[in-house]
Structure 1
Amino acid sequence: MARLSVNINKIATLRNSRGGNNPDVLQTALACERFGAQGITVHPRPDERHIRYQDVYDLKTAIKTELNIEGNSREDKFVRLVLDTQPAQVTLVPDDPNQITSNHGWDTVKHQAYLMDICALFKSEGIRVSIFVDPDPKMIEAAAGTGTDRVELYTEAYARDYLDSPELALAPYLEAAKIAQQVGLGLNAGHDLDLHNLRYFNQHIPGLLEVSIGHALIADALYLGLEETIRQYLEQLA
């Protein structure tokens, strides 16, 4: 069964829009755990427009499930945060500082030497490493040469094309998953997965270990409530 890691960035966005501490990011994370989530994901950015760096320190000391920190490791502040907090997993994402959200994976061919160095740094501290990649066999094969433990497939294209043809939408991800297995990489996935498309993805992608879901899950919680929403997402992964 693939594990569900809840990305709580949107909770922080709502908090920051008004000031103060409502909704409470830490209490939300603890509630997600209580309702069955197997991990908490955060993606701090340099301007702290949603998750703040202090949030990450607070979460690390309070949550009992896995903490997954996503972000651009070319930022020194991000590297220090990861090394300070020692999460279970760091997911390397090639974000531009001005991006609203992640929109592409690493070119693991072009940046292989750099990725080898940063993976070695984090792994020397006992931190599992995942590299955010597009479903491109070449990128997954090259990722294996970096020393990463896992890759996370960027699933926006799957979610977009699923509405027209689930089978065609899945095809490149199925090929990517098979390549990941062949080269010995663990497999995560995330971006725009939701209650409509998650079950099909989970049922057909071999070796899927973890999905990280934020925007859709938090939006669904407005209608269904957080506990019921997490229950339904876990059901899609059963």
Structure 2
Amino acid sequence: MTKLSVNINKLATLRNARGGNMPNLITAAQDIEGFGAQGITIHPRPDERHIKYQDARELKGIVSTEYNIEGNPVQKFIDLVLQVQPTQVTLVPDAEDAITSNAGWDTIKHKDFLSEVIQTFKAKDIRTSIFVDPDPKMVEGAVATGTDRIELYTESYAVAYAQGNKNGVKPFKEAALKAQEVGLGLNAGHDLSLDNIKFFKQEVPGLLEVSIGHALICESLYLGLENVINMYLERLK
């Protein structure tokens, strides 16, 4: 079964909108795990507009499943991850002012930089993953960095699926097969939802973990958080 890691950034956005502590991220993370999710993901940004760096520190003592911290490896982020030592760090090349992640790494162009950062994290026994587009060349490039896994950037699949084009999954299947060939673990995330997750899971081999936040929280407004998590788990079997 593919593991479900729930990204709680949107809960932090809702909390920050009022400046208090509602919803409480600690309670939410515990509840999400209690409902069956196998991981918690956060993506702190330098401006802390949703997840705050202190949230990352406090969640370390709470999350009992896999704890995944995503972000652009600027020095502030590197220092945070080394301090917190989560289960996994996912490196994402997003600009500071980006609303959300919008591209994967060029693992060939940035090989030396990624290799250095990954060695730093692996020295602390933190599993590493690189956010990449579904391009076999980028998958091959990731191997040379020493990363443990890649995370496929799935927005193009979600857009194609919503338009009725199931062929949009083909590049992801090819990238997944390449990952298996070169010995990389495979994660995926971005715009995956209850509508498109089952087909993606069926078509993409070797999928270890998906990270889902925005869609899951939106769906939960209508269907309830516990119910939605179990709906995802059923589709990921």
TM-score past 0.5 threshold: yes
Alpha-carbon distance between aligned partners in 1 of 2:97 and 2:226, rounded to the nearest angstrom: 33
Q: Give 1:227 shift.
A: 0.5
Alpha-carbon distance between aligned partners in 2 of 1:188 and 1:77, rounded to the nearest angstrom: 25
Alpha-carbon distance between aligned partners in 2 of 1:117 and 1:8, rounded to the nearest angstrom: 29
Report the equivalent of 2:216. Answer: 217
CA RMSD in angstroms comes to 0.7
Report the equivalent of 1:101. Answer: 100
1:35 aligned to 2:35?
yes
Aligned pairs, how many? 237
Q: Give 1:70 shift.
A: 0.0
Alpha-carbon distance between aligned partners in 1 of 2:66 and 2:185, rounded to the nearest angstrom: 16
Letter in 2 for 1:85: V
Alignment of 1:12-51 (within 5 A): 12-51=12-51
Identity of aligned residues (%): 62
Letter in 2 for 1:92: L
Alpha-carbon distance between aligned partners in 2 of 1:101 and 1:107, rounded to the nearest angstrom: 18
Report the equivalent of 1:131. Answer: 130
Alignment of 1:1-238 (within 5 A): 1-73=1-73, 75-238=74-237
Unaligned runs of 5+ in 2: none
Alpha-carbon distance between aligned partners in 2 of 1:207 and 1:32, rounded to the nearest angstrom: 25
- Equivalent residue of 1:202, what SS? helix
Alpha-carbon distance between aligned partners in 1 of 2:9 and 2:109, rounded to the nearest angstrom: 30
Moved more, 162-171 or 87-96: 162-171
Alpha-carbon distance between aligned partners in 1 of 2:71 and 2:162, rounded to the nearest angstrom: 29
Q: Give 1:164 shift.
A: 3.0
Q: Give 1:204 shift.
A: 1.1
CA offset digits 1:149-185 (Å, max 9, x no partner) = 0000000000000123443110100000000011100
Alpha-carbon distance between aligned partners in 1 of 2:132 and 2:164, rounded to the nearest angstrom: 22
Unaligned runs of 5+ in 1: none
Q: Give 1:71 shift.
A: 0.2
2:160 touches 2:166 (CA, 8 Å); kept in 1?
no
Alpha-carbon distance between aligned partners in 2 of 1:167 and 1:232, rounded to the nearest angstrom: 21
Alpha-carbon distance between aligned partners in 2 of 1:146 and 1:63, rounded to the nearest angstrom: 28
Alpha-carbon distance between aligned partners in 2 of 1:165 and 1:109, rounded to the nearest angstrom: 33
Alpha-carbon distance between aligned partners in 1 of 2:143 and 2:166, rounded to the nearest angstrom: 27
Alpha-carbon distance between aligned partners in 2 of 1:159 and 1:84, rounded to the nearest angstrom: 35
Alpha-carbon distance between aligned partners in 2 of 1:166 and 1:27, rounded to the nearest angstrom: 39
TM-score (norm 2): 0.99
Alpha-carbon distance between aligned partners in 2 of 1:18 and 1:99, rounded to the nearest angstrom: 22
Letter in 2 for 1:208: L
2:104 touches 2:153 (CA, 8 Å); kept in 1?
yes
